[in-house]
Amino acid sequence: MTSVSSGRRRGLNASTAIKSPVIAASTGNLTLSAAQTVDGIALVATNRVLCKNQTDASENGIYAVNSSTWVREPDWDGIGDVVEGTMIPVSRGTTNALTWWLVTNTGTITIGTTGTNTDVTFAQGLTDVAISATSTVTDESTDTTCFPVFMTAATGNNALKSGTNLTFNSNTGEFGATIVASTGKSTATTFEPTGDTSAGDNSALGYTVAEGAIVTGQGLTSDVTIKNDADAEVMSVPTGTTTAKFATGISVGAATPGTGGVAFPATAVAVTDANTLDDYEEGEFVPTLTLNGSGTVTMATNTTLSYTKIGRVVHINGVLGISGVSSPVGDLVLGNLPFTSRNATQAAGRTFCNVAFSNLSGALVNQAVLSITESGTTGSIKETDGAADTTLGPQCQAGTSIGFNFFYEAA
């Protein structure tokens, strides 16, 4: 039995009405031995637990968890420890957290398995009280000016504060200008600041007709930081600079943002401004080598060329190998270029590009050039002295290599 003083009139312990809290309470019959999990709480030695659902109700009560057999707590082990209405608060648990349980037995209760009135029964009493986050204020439509209550820091006294700089309009839900530290208003869905911000503002929102919405601040590493809903930085302005720093990549239009760099959409949206970059793309493509006369050309294992497109300018680079030819007649034709070339209206004449050959069946007398077809994705390769062209197809053989490093304009 607990050692607290007994009541003089009824001979009851001082803790009979309300017991010290228990860590958890049972939701079913328990084996009263060893550490175990009760109502989602992993109990350890000496934890107090309320057993209220035992098959043998005489076993109900408050126990101390033990590595072997559990022992009744001192405030639940003798006459006078429990009466009708004794309350036990529960601290934790998936089901029983923050609940109170009341003893429902009447008459004198005997703790233990022998005697009369030994089966202790319980009923749930109080639970945690939820306070509504919404308060209803009577609409004072005819009284548009209300005065808020402020607490004086020095005295702790509350008092109504009146004056035009401390008014609250119950019709519009707006405070007067200086009750919020700005000349603006706050509504349920928006905040509308007015006026410019100033140098030295730690964190400020503003608005001017010329500048629109303004965000400013000052910090040790950044003056302004924009984050996403995962609290990760998206963009910042380093302290004291006018430079925007993006945490990862920048996307243009419908492009999918990457982990770095500037991402352009797969299909460029052309602009006419000479100072605006409207497209960038780089990669590899698989060209074709054919003859514009007759015969066939078989390419070797190196069958790809790389490309970089900046605006309209396309740069092609790489080497193609020929593993075999069959009855070659006419010019070599490079096909399947990654972008359609400009037409005669856009760029007068054809684009001539230098190419390099190795291991031809005969020596080049003049320069080898690639002539890009207008409004197309092909170009013919030939030898020229500027006045007359010579076909190069018949000079190609197994082991011939062609090096490309040229530019052309896309449509």
Q: Is 141 domain-assigned?
A: no
Mean pLDDT of the chain: 81
Domain count within the chain: 3
Residue 25 makes CB contacts below 8 A (sequence gap 6+) with 38, 39, 49, 50, 51, 52, 88, 90, 93, 96, 99, 101
Same-domain check for residues 126 and 82? yes
Beta-bridged to residue 324, according to DSSP, are: 298
Determine, yes or no, domain membership for 142.
no
The rounded distance, in Å, linking the Cα atoms of 226 and 206 is 16
* 323 domain-assigned: yes
Same domain, 17 and 51: yes
Prediction pTM value: 0.49
**Across residues 336-357, what is the average pLDDT?**
75
Note whether 322 and 382 are within 8 A (CB).
Answer: no
Mean pLDDT calculated for residue range 6-27 = 72
* Closest by Cα among 118, 112, 173, 114 to 140: 173
Same domain, 404 and 308: yes
Q: Which of 130, 158, 176 is the last residue of a domain?
A: 130
Residue 291 banded pLDDT, cuts 50, 70, 90: very high
Per the structure, the complete domain to which residue 386 belongs is given by 283-409
CB 297 within 8 Å of CB 289: yes
Q: Do 125 and 200 fall into the same domain?
A: no
251 pLDDT band, cuts 50/70/90, is confident
**CB 26, CB 92: distance < 8 Å:** no
Is the domain of 62 the same as that of 95?
yes
Handedness of CA 274, 278, 283, 286 (dihedral sign): negative
Q: Are residues 99 and 197 in the same domain?
A: no
The Cα–Cα gap between 411 and 244 comes to: 34
